[in-house]
């Protein structure tokens, strides 16, 4: 037996969609036939259509990966890049006596924590990551302007190159973070009022919310 994750009615395992509300997300019925508690922030599986809690990396029912692979690669890249950037800042400071890079130090330290929490699907990390992307670009732009104003043309050119590279990487990450799949995964700790605000008015609209679960 399985239970519709929307209207909570029980059906046989052969059904692909709930005949009452047409929702295609399912929950496993506990022993005894009692209703299962719906996840606060549901994360549907594309393979078996069972619903797990946000932040679950693998489906407990079929073992499919629930965390998008490209999202994992980007986050792992951030986890590797932030500590390396922190080391590079101290190298620039002590070897080439360039204190300007200290402005980037808070961003690299915060980025390591943020990317680690993104792997766990934390909603606060998702918000912080967006702020970090924008704030870091703005900070580098200020750094370019300051070095240009005080006449350090070479430093300004170096920072401009770094800013352009970060602009491209930030654009890719921004688009990644705003896909529906990533937003579903990074919902651990998301306030209930935000979830309720996004809930469909009519049960039929639940299908469009998770259109990837529809029968092809």
88 in the same domain as 106: yes
pLDDT in the model for residue 95: 77
CA 131 to centroid of chain Cα atoms: 13
DSSP codes of every residue in 76-141: HHHHHHHHHHHHHHHHHHHHS--GGGGGGHHHHHHHHHHHHHHHTTBHHHHHHHHHHHHHHHHHHH
pLDDT at 118: 94
- How many domains would you assign to the chain? 2
Pair 163, 140: CB distance under 8 Å: yes
Please report which confidence band the pLDDT of residue 6 belongs to, taking 50, 70 and 90 as the band edges. Answer: confident
Mean pLDDT of 37-57: 86
Residues 79 and 164 in one domain: yes
pLDDT digits (tens, 9 = 90+) for 145-191: 888 888 878 778 877 888 898 899 889 889 988 888 899 899 998 88
37 plus 77 within the same structural domain:
no
Mean pLDDT computed over 47-70? 89
Confirm whether 184 is domain-assigned. no
Same domain, 54 and 146: no
42, 111, 163, 190 from 138: Cα distances, Å: 35, 16, 9, 27
Please indicate, yes or no, whether residues 156 and 173 belong to a single structural domain of this protein: yes
The residue whose two tokens read 């070897």 is: 95
State the average pLDDT for the chain.
Answer: 81
Q: Domain range spanning residue 51?
A: 1-66+195-208
pLDDT tens-digit readout, 67-120: 999 899 989 988 998 889 888 888 877 776 767 667 778 888 898 999 999 999
Residue 189 forms part of a structural domain: no
């Amino acid at each position: 037996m399985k239970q519709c994750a929307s209207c909570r009615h029980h059906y046989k395992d052969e059904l692909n969609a709930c005949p009452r509300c047409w929702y295609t997300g399912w929950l496993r019925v506990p022993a005894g036939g009692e209703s299962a508690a719906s996840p606060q922030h549901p994360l549907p599986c594309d393979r078996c259509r069972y619903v797990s809690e946000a932040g679950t990396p693998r489906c407990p029912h079929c073992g499919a990966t629930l965390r998008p692979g490209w999202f994992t690669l980007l986050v792992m890249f951030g986890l590797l890049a932030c500590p390396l950037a922190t080391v590079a800042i101290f190298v620039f400071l002590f070897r080439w006596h360039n204190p300007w890079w200290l402005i980037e130090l808070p961003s690299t330290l915060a980025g390591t924590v943020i990317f680690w929490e993104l792997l766990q699907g934390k909603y606060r990390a998702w918000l912080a990551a967006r702020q970090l992307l924008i704030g870091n670009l703005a900070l580098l732009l200020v750094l370019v302007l300051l070095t240009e104003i005080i006449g350090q043309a070479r430093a300004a050119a170096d920072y401009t190159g770094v800013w352009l590279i970060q602009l491209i990487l930030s654009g890719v990450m921004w688009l990644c973070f705003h896909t529906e799949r990533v937003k579903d995964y990074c919902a651990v700790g998301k306030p209930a009022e935000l979830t309720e605000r996004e809930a469909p008015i009519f049960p039929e609209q639940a299908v469009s919310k998770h259109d990837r679960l529809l029968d092809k």
